[in-house]
Amino acid sequence: MSPRSKAVAKTKSAEIEIPERLYFRIGEVSRLCRLPAYVLRFWETEFPQLKPIKSSTGQRMYRRKDVENVVRIKALLYEQGFTIAGARQCLRAENKPERKQSALPFPATTTNLKPIRQGLHEILTILSAH
């Protein structure tokens, strides 16, 4: 097999090889991750990151990202000892993009803010009167 044909998701206890495919049935994910199908169905209710689509026959179809999330959740719960709530919070924090405070669009030199402050104060006085 070529190096591109399979990707490897690493966990502490074992390496799980995820084949390069678009969709996986729940039974396939169960075998790949060595988890019972009922655990996967339960995790779907507990982790919003797991959203397998359902085929026309009602079969759960996991995308690659879903399988990677299952591997990550398994590592958090079984290897790192997180609770369900703790793992959910950890995943949420991992997926949240870092927000860096951007510079203000004002020039570096500060302008005289006294007239602006005075104008805002006058507007506030007018609005408070009504």
Domains defined along the chain, listed by start: 6-95 (1.10.1660.10)
Residue 115 confidence (pLDDT): 85
Please give the average per-residue pLDDT across 97-125, as a whole number. 75
Residue 105 confidence (pLDDT): 66
Residue 103 confidence (pLDDT): 63
Residue 128 confidence (pLDDT): 87
Q: Is pLDDT at 2 greater than 50 in this prediction?
A: no
Instruction: Please give the structure tokens belonging to residue 93.
Output: 């924090």
The burial class, CB within 10 Å (0-12 / 13-18 / 19+), for 122 is exposed
Question: Could you tell me which of 91, 35, 34, 39 has the C-alpha nearest to residue 65?
Answer: 91
Residue 12 confidence (pLDDT): 47
Q: Give per-residue pLDDT as tens, 4-47.
A: 444 444 444 457 788 888 899 999 999 999 999 999 999 999 99
Q: Model confidence at 104, in pLDDT bands (50, 70, 90)?
A: low
Q: Is pLDDT at 99 greater than 70 in this prediction?
A: no
Residue 48 DSSP code: T
Q: Give per-residue pLDDT as tens, 45-84.
A: 999 989 999 989 989 999 999 999 999 999 999 999 999 9
The burial class, CB within 10 Å (0-12 / 13-18 / 19+), for 11 is middle
